[in-house]
Structure 1
Amino acid sequence: MAEQQKNNPLHGITLEKIVTDLQVHYGWSELGYMLRFECFINNPSIKSSLKFLRKTPWARKKVEDLFLSTFHK
């Protein structure tokens, strides 16, 4: 398993850390504008965002891609 993950830049980074880091960097309003997810627009919170992203793989992928393009250039 570790062999498969060695080239994964997200290995060991929790979804909570990804969302938290993006929120600190951009803020909720900018995240809502960039990604257009309700969980970032209406009463945003880390908890509600995690709940949505864990159930919605395509949205999680967008958030992970934004994290990588922001912090792993």
Structure 2
Amino acid sequence: MQDPSSPPVQARNPLHGLTLERIVTALVACYGWPGLGVRIPLRCFTSDPSIASSLKF
């Protein structure tokens, strides 16, 4: 039995433990900023893109 104050175990959640910064960094490594801008047309990916601007969005 779990302690009520502890967070629930998320064994089936593939994103558990990943930060948004880590996810965006992996996407940039895979697709590059131009590729992300085409796939996801957001200003943070198309106009002067950076990890910081993506996290603020």
TM-score for both structures, normalised by structure 1 = 0.66
Identity %: 55
> Displaced runs of 4+ in structure 1, greater than 6 A?
none
Q: Which has the higher helix share?
A: 1
Q: Does 1:2 align with 2:21?
A: no
Structure with the larger RCO, 1 or 2 (CA within 8 Å, 6+ apart): 1
Query: 2:36 aligned to 8, 31, 34, which one?
Result: 31
Q: TM-score, normalised by structure 2?
A: 0.83
Q: Which residue of 1 aligns with 2:49?
A: 44
Which deviations, in whole Å up to 9, do the C-alpha atoms of 1:13-59 show, x marking residues without a partner? 0000000000011000000000111100000000000000xxxxxxx
User: Which one has a bigger Cα radius of gyration?
Assistant: 2
Alpha-carbon offset, residue 6 of structure 1:
1.7
Gaps in structure 1 of 5+ consecutive residues: 53-73
Q: Distance in 2 between matches of 1:22 and 1:2?
A: 28
Q: What root-mean-square deviation, in Å, do the aligned CA atoms of Structure 1 and Structure 2 show?
A: 0.8
- Report the count of equivalent residues: 51
